[in-house]
Structure 1
């Protein structure tokens, strides 16, 4: 299965102009995903208070395996939370430089919810496909921690309970983020050629340092990832150059090769 690559994902004329699906998320698969454990958390979890989280990671399938990521309040003050990662799984899938991740997500509504799709490997290599906090209802966050860039993007399509389509292009020289079919941030920094990282999909709960903790009467929260695929550039077959009437050769490259473009919109991260 192939489709044209998004603008900005092919930085050099004549390089691959199509992608193929290399990963389709099956959240119920025990070979694709590990539940309730991540080395992005101290000692692999289950808690991570140093990152302002009330999470208590659980492997219970009800919290993640349907693609609905849940969190429920515990009597000890923590929240049972759902997390899936490809790290440590039998398949061990990693996203690579040049890959394109596409996901459809329904945002949560409860204050304190902190959903995210992100990457991680060896204590680093983090690219945030998205983060969201309902206390900032129209704002979605995109971050390249590898090269230190980010965008707080305000959009009328972003609101508690809304469905959004996300696309992230993990380019060597630029990471590009798309929202509902429109490119909204091109960071111009990229990830470098050797970059690769595992996927994490989870719902965290804010502890209150940077975003409000859940209201006292809130006992449960959730968000849904209805689809997630990763596409990878593939080399296009080259044809022998055609001989022109004058004895020369026609170019084997299309005249409208894709080039990196500037980000749409003018909003920037607050200082």
Structure 2
């Protein structure tokens, strides 16, 4: 029941799916593009990274393209106890794309299976402006976390379709007055507070690794984990094909 409540050969990049039928699409993610995305660095982490242990993360961000540029976001264990992890952000990229109030984001993701995997798509700018399109922890196998940190709203959404390894279709409208989430085309949560009319923020797509404070740390036998993101697009009603909106 859905419950809307408050190593080896590397995969090749998946080309972005064009949407010529919708002139309001202002951003189609090409994770391999160095003009769209910066890899392995984010000011959402102290000093831009590479680590963030105070947020219960074992991440050690790396720019290595095999960790993020294919759309498969990977993490591998390091000898020092941290994990090399993949992160992409539009912050600091040549195009510098930002999502704005009332934009709609859609993405298709395949959830990870390994304990301690912590995938997310989220926004960030100037020390905040965070809205989580989703977060997931396999120890809560049928649950997604949906959060508007801008105005302190959030929900857990559970459904039998949510499970480790499953593909999920995600949609979010960053409404000025109310942020709305859909999961597999089912309405999941309406926060009723929104982000405000002047809100704008950069995109982040990444895989973190939980350190064990709030969710289990990786099993001793686990040395790698991953999840996949496809077909991430941003739609801006009324844009009319005007290209990237900075």
TM norm. shorter chain > 0.5? yes
1:36 to 18, 35, 40: 40
1:59 and 2:63 equivalent? yes
2:181 to 177, 189, 195: 177
User: SS at 1:89's partner residue?
Assistant: coil
1:206 aligned partner: 210
RMSD over equivalenced CA pairs, Å: 1.1
Shift of 1:235: 7.1
1:143 to 115, 134, 147: 147
TM-score by length of 2: 0.88
**Which of the pair has more CA radius of gyration?**
1
What's the CA shift string for 1:61-117, capped at 9, x where partnerless?
000000000000000100000000000000000000010000000000000000000
Distance 1:93 1:103 in 2: 16
Shift of 1:2: 5.5
1:188 and 2:192 equivalent? yes
Distance 1:149 1:112 in 2: 24
1:116 aligned partner: 120
2:223 aligned partner: 219
Structure 1 residue ranges (4+ consecutive) displaced by more than 4 angstroms after TM superposition: none
1:260 aligned partner: none
Distance 1:201 1:215 in 2: 24
Distance 1:134 1:2 in 2: 36
1:155 to 125, 146, 159: 159
Distance 1:187 1:22 in 2: 25
What's the CA shift string for 1:1-49, capped at 9, x where partnerless?
466xxxxxxxxxxxxxxx7100000000000000000000000000000
1:78 and 2:82 equivalent? yes
Distance 1:163 1:74 in 2: 28
Distance 2:219 2:178 in 1: 39
TM-score by length of 1: 0.80
Any unmatched runs of 5+ in structure 1? 4-18, 237-271
2:234 aligned partner: 230
1:165 to 158, 165, 169: 169
- The number of residues matched between the two structures is 221
- Is this contact kept in 1: 2:26–2:239, CA < 8 A? no
